[in-house]
A and B are shown apart, each in its own frame.
Chain A
Amino acid sequence: MKILLIEDERVLAESITSHLSKEGFIVEVAFSYNAAVEKVNLYAYDCVVVDINLPDGTGFDIVEMLKKIKASSGIIIISARDALEDRIRSLEIGSDDYLTKPFHLSELNARVKAILRRRHFGGNNEISYNEIRVNYNTRRVFVGDREIFLSRKEYDLLLYFMSNVDIALTKASMAEHLWGDNMDSADSFDILYSHIKNLRRKLTDAGSNEYIHSIYGIGYKFGSH
């Protein structure tokens, strides 16, 4: 999977690149509008992550150009501006998602994967990890052949875990993924804990291995070790 990252802040670009590379993506970076224009015209990408504010242009123009050349890439806009007009405009011109800086890398990762899932696996709407299978069209979850029934939040949590396998997830990023900015952090961590406890129990009760590991002081990690 090839991803083009258009971001002029080098440190941020580096972090995003290294994080997404660990997930097995091939990440190319364009630090400026002109470099980005060149790349999108030459190569095809599965997903383009673009910053709105670039020193020599705006991310909106790149999105419009992608649409004009009928590129099949998924598009995620990242911006330091949380203005509603920007959100609306970016969706209107055909981008798939909008993330406000600062964001959690794991959140970006989950969003990129969600977009790729929507775009590429037309027939196959399943993601799986060992014995756990999730059909994200019907929102049904199986452990082996046994179906388990999750609440909405537990389902979202499981999907978030499965998009970030072997990545240490902070409580803050998980809380934000589940509730956005709506909830006070201190309270949301308590609720998060009870959701994880339930999810864990439902999975192991159905015969799954223990995949959700707590990392002291930080959060959780989903994986085999």
Chain B
Amino acid sequence: MKLLGRTNLYYITFSLLTYIVIAGSFYVLVERMIYQEVEERLRVERRDFETYVRVHGVWEESCYFVEDKISLVSVSDTLDVLPAFKDTLLDNRYNRQLIPFREHTFYSAVNGGLYKVSIRKSLIESRSLLQSITITMLITLSIGLVLLYLFQRRFSKILWRPFYQTLAKAKAFDVSDGSALELGTEPIFEFNELNSELEKMTAKISRDYKNLKEFTENASHEIQTPLAMINSRVEELIQDRDVAPLQMAWIQDIHESTLRLSRLNQALLLLAKIENGQFYERESVDINALIKNKLVSFEEIFNLKGINVTLEERVTLISQMNAVLADVLFTNLLNNAVKHNVSKGNIAITVDTDRFVIENTGDELKIDPQLLFERFRKVKQSSNSLGLGLAIVKKICDVHKFHIAYTASANVHTISITLLQGSTKDQ
């Protein structure tokens, strides 16, 4: 749920509750005031009645004719406790309709007899007064409520705008971009603090990331030089005729390990460079031509292993790519297809409108093929391969925003690379 939605919800709930409580208590209050007023008048009339009876000694109905207001009922005793005031409904004199009355009852001696006297006063005007007061109040309150809600909504939006701007910028933050967030200052203290903290944090992240990248690259460079020295010394030793065969075998081991280390280092360096965005130039690369070119340079190895290669060109695929990386991509893909192939196996390459697919026969895969895109992940841990080929392939696909998928069935492995929309051209 959004922040503004949530504050609005709380606000509405709270306002409605307040509204109901205020309306309810207002109603009760007004009603009580009306009752007090009516009861006060009834008491006044009781005094009038008692004065009249004391002066005249009798009570005449005709004194009051407006309404059925005072009624006397002869009683023998005063044992029943009479409620001082109560509500009652009486028939209207003209149309048979029950009308609410407030009734004041008491005992009184009139003309020597004992009577229960009831003085009643119609509540109908008071009721309508209460009604109109209540309705007016409800309307006023509702209008106030709606206005407050709209006002609050508008203000929240204005108030939180810097927050949402910051949020949008933070979302767009890309660490590989190399630059920290620039958020500027805000008049509101908290947002200002948030912005400056975010700026500091992203600056540190960017700096650390950059340092790490540079470190990887520099370390790789620094490793190359001693490797070159070891290699050259070993090669000199190999020229030496006096070395005993056993020692020569050791030297050979050193030589091979150094070369492997150097290849490993170069592969890591390549990965670091791709990540550093050093291969940013793009040009139109003819994928078909590149594949055919690569197939020629792999021909010897295909012949050696008896691998049958088919190339199906449904279209001529032109893609905006870095030429160096495109070359590395297909070298690695073909190397992979050869390395994990079986003797006298097949490689089938298909170039389609928006993608190219490389299928090769091979042993059944015991692990999730997606894992093979990770660095140093190998099917056979002991194998001679560096375990970086597919990691480089994946990285190259990432920088070109290609989608790569690796699927493996019983003995066919498929790598499918889908290109960006609009980067292709039909023949």
List A residues at the B interface (Cβ < 8 Å): 9, 11-12, 15-16, 18-19, 22, 80-84, 101-106, 153, 167-168, 170, 172-173, 179, 181-188, 190-191, 194, 216-218
Contacts and interface: CB of A to CB of B under 8 A. Distances in A.
Nearest to B224: A80
A216 B259 CA distance: 19
A184 B232 contact: no
A191 B252 CA distance: 20
Contacts of B227: 101-102
Nearest to A190: B304
Contacts of B335: 183-184
Contacts of B224: 80, 101-102
8 contacts: A22-B239, A82-B266, A102-B227, A102-B258, A172-B259, A182-B331, A187-B305, A217-B252
B249 interface: yes
Interface string B267-310: 00100010000100000000000000000010011001100000
Nearest to B336: A184
A186 B384 contact: yes
Interface residues of B, number: 40
A167 B241 CA distance: 10
A81 B266 CA distance: 10
Contacts of A9: 225, 228-229
Given A12-B229, A15-B233, A19-B232, 12 more contacts: A15-B229, A83-B273, A102-B228, A102-B232, A104-B231, A105-B236, A182-B331, A184-B335, A187-B301, A191-B301, A194-B304, A218-B252
A112 B233 CA distance: 19
A168 B240 CA distance: 9
Contact of A172 (B232, B236, B255, B331): B255
B235 interface: yes
B324 interface: yes
Q: Is the interface of B mostly helix, strand, loop or mixed?
A: helix
B278 A83 contact: yes
Given A11-B232, A172-B256, A194-B304, A101 B297 contact: no
A153 B252 CA distance: 25
Contact of A15 (B235, B266, B273): B235
B419 interface: no
B248 interface: yes
A181 B392 CA distance: 15
Contacts of A184: 335, 338-339, 385
A82 B232 contact: no
Given A82-B269, A168-B238, A182-B297, A12 B232 contact: yes
